[in-house]
Amino acid sequence: MTHFHYKENILHCEDSPVQEIAEEFGTPLYLYSKQQLLDNFRSIDGAFAGIDHVTCYALKANSNHSLLKLLAEEGAGADAVSSGEIHLALKAGFDPTKITFAGVGKRDDEIEYALKKNIFSFNVESQQELDVLNAIAGRLGTKARIALRINPDIDASTHPYISTGLKTNKFGIDISYAMIAFKYASSLPNLQVDGIHTHIGSQILKLEPFMQTAQTVVNLVKELKSIGIDIHHIDFGGGFGVTYKNAIKHPLLPVEETNGAEEAPANDIFISSVLPILKTAGCKLVIEPGRSIIANTGILVTKVLYMKDNGVKKFVIVDAGMNDLLRPSLYNAYHQIVPLTVQQRESDTVDVVGPVCETGDFFARDRELPTVERGEYLAVLTAGAYGIVNASHYNARLRPAEVLVNGVKVRVIRERETFDDL
Ligand code: LLP
């Protein structure tokens, strides 16, 4: 998180002190760094140097309009999983010919909407979907450009809820059935078979599963060519992991224990590990990163409401809850939590919990944290991806505001909700 850093012991986003922003805009508050977003996108997109490609940002990670606009201006494409996401992408200025549409359960009206917008590719996930798409395209007198999503049965060693490339997952078409499915797709009059799509999971930290997948896809392109089916693009999906522990280091912050396997390779390393393999297919390349572009561009700022010691455990109760950031509750995900001012002070082992009426409403359990005081602010780091998009009204709580920092400038990019929004 190079654009979140302590300057004279005070946490800054770029050139702006986070505490001043929290005081001005209130908490819970999502706060993003513009420069971090641009750096992340450029580190991925730039790694393709000279190869025909599109980096389609996965909107599901964070679809804030202002953030999307910045990516559209950078020339990014968009990976959408609903007609709503296609709508948001178009509204933010993404070129329709750079939009892909994945998902195991596309409704007929969503397919019709995407066909009318003339998107780049439908990433089709089942044989029945091929039939439906073919029929709808026929009715509209058009042809649908498609890629078939292949499930390569490769273990990405990630949390079971976000693994997608195993036989037991609902996604894609089993690799052993791929040739039959491609032949079938090519026989349908209103489909234009253009690509192969794959996405094996999210928060993947090892390079091997990606390299194995790349080889599987390249082999399939060659096999298809041998029976006269020409593949023009490979959509390699997303899934590049990020580092959640020790995201910010400071001599006055506890060092978070890692088993060494929790550190993510740099963005460009993910690309350069698969590029030599993928290049051999001679196709246009598409990737769909979400987390690796947006996760470390954002933090969630929250205020300490109460401290409580029940003799067994100590709790720090904050004003953000699982309705604002669901990841710890849903995946037991780890987010580093830091005070906005570091100073010499005792530390404690605490649970950081929210106000929601669920025991699962926590941000950290048994976490060593510098001792904090009521009214102090904390930052939950690396919260830009799958944060605000999963926020809900649970317990009739208002969704947080979002602000974007650009140097010393700060602007609201989503207003805090009011009772009228409930
Ligand atoms: N493409 C497809 C088809 C996907 O399903 C996903 C994510 C992506 C691209 C982007 O993956 P990324 O680069 O962000 O890893 N809510 C979970 C993550 C769910 C990922 C769903 N699919 C979390 O908070 O960890």
Q: What are the structural domains of the chain?
A: 34-292 (3.20.20.10), 296-421 (2.40.37.10)
Query: Which one of 123, 161, 166, 288 would you pick to mutate in the ligand 1 pocket, going by the greatest count of ligand atoms within 8 A of its CB?
Result: 288
pLDDT score of 48: 93
Q: Is the pTM of this model over 0.85?
A: yes
Residue 315 phi/psi, 5-degree rounding, is -120, 140
Is the minimum distance from the CB of 267 to ligand 1 under 6 angstroms?
no
Atom of ligand 1 nearest to the CA of 202: 15
2 CB-contact burial (10 Å; exposed 0-12 / middle 13-18 / buried 19+)? exposed
pLDDT score of 308: 97
Are β-strands 121-124 and 99-101 bridged in parallel, bridged antiparallel, or unpaired? Answer: parallel
**Separation of alpha carbons 324 and 390, rounded Å:** 7
Compute the distance from residue 315 Cα to the ligand 1 centre, in Å. 32
Q: Pick the residue whose CA is nearest to atom 24 on ligand 1.
A: 386
Compute the distance from residue 314 Cα to the ligand 1 centre, in Å. 34
**Separation of alpha carbons 135 and 201, rounded Å:** 30
From first to last of its 422 residues, the chain has per-residue pLDDT tens of 789 999 999 999 999 999 999 999 999 999 999 999 999 999 999 999 889 999 999 999 999 999 999 999 999 999 999 999 999 999 999 999 999 999 999 999 999 999 999 999 999 999 999 999 999 999 999 999 999 999 988 887 777 776 676 777 788 899 999 999 999 999 999 999 999 999 999 999 999 999 999 999 999 999 999 999 999 999 999 999 999 999 999 999 999 998 777 899 999 999 999 999 999 999 999 999 999 999 999 999 999 999 999 999 999 999 999 999 999 999 999 999 999 999 999 999 999 999 999 999 999 999 999 999 999 999 999 999 999 999 999 999 999 999 999 999 999 999 999 999 99
pLDDT score of 85: 98
What residue has token string 């909407």?
Answer: 113
Q: Is the C-alpha dihedral spanning 46, 50, 56, 58 positive or negative?
A: negative
**Separation of alpha carbons 59 and 388, rounded Å:** 12
Is the minimum distance from the CB of 202 to ligand 1 under 6 angstroms?
yes
Report how far Cα 152 is from the mean position of its chain's Cα atoms: 21
Compute the distance from residue 291 Cα to the ligand 1 centre, in Å. 7
Is the minimum distance from the CB of 293 to ligand 1 under 6 angstroms?
no
Is the minimum distance from the CB of 386 to ligand 1 under 6 angstroms?
yes
Tokens of 258: 């890692």
pLDDT score of 169: 76
Is 357 in the active site?
yes
Compute the distance from residue 331 Cα to the ligand 1 centre, in Å. 13
| Spatial CA neighbour of 207 closest among 164, 261, 269, 290 | 269
Instruction: Encode the chain in three state secondary structure.
Output: CCCEEEECCEEEECCEEHHHHHHHHCCCEEEEEHHHHHHHHHHHHHHHCCCCEEEEEEHHHCCCHHHHHHHHHCCCEEEECCHHHHHHHHHCCCCHHHEEECCCCCCHHHHHHHHHCCCCEEEECCHHHHHHHHHHHHHCCCCEEEEEEEECCCCCCCCHHHECCCCCCCCCEEHHHHHHHHHHHHHCCCEEEEEEECCCECCECCCHHHHHHHHHHHHHHHHHHHCCCCCCEEECCCCECCCCCCCCCCCCCCCCCCCCCCCCCCHHHHHHHHHHHHHCCCCEEEECCCHHHHHHHEEEEEEEEEEEECCCCEEEEECCCCCCCCHHHHHCCCCCEEECECCCCCEEEEEEECCCCCCCCEEEEEEEEECCCCCCEEEECCCCCCCHHHCCCHHHCCCCEEEEEECCEEEEEECCCCHHHC
Give the chain's end-to-end CA distance (angstroms, integer).
Answer: 34
Compute the distance from residue 61 Cα to the ligand 1 centre, in Å. 7
Tokens of 306: 């109460």
CB count in 10 Å sphere of residue 156: 25
Is the minimum distance from the CB of 296 to ligand 1 under 6 angstroms?
no
The answer for residues whose C-beta is within 8 angstroms of residue 133's C-beta and 6 or more apart is 111, 122, 124, 144, 146, 190, 191
**Separation of alpha carbons 398 and 417, rounded Å:** 5
**Separation of alpha carbons 5 and 14, rounded Å:** 8
Is the minimum distance from the CB of 327 to ligand 1 under 6 angstroms?
yes
String of b and e for 191-224 (b: at least 16 CB within 10 Å)? Answer: bebbbbbbbbbbbbbbeebbbbbbbbbbebbeeb
Report how far Cα 247 is from the mean position of its chain's Cα atoms: 17
| Radius of gyration of the CA atoms of the chain, in A | 22
pLDDT score of 161: 72
**Separation of alpha carbons 148 and 198, rounded Å:** 8
Report how far Cα 68 is from the mean position of its chain's Cα atoms: 13
Q: Pick the residue whose CA is nearest to atom 6 on ligand 1.
A: 238
**Amino acid, res. 100:** T
pLDDT score of 366: 97
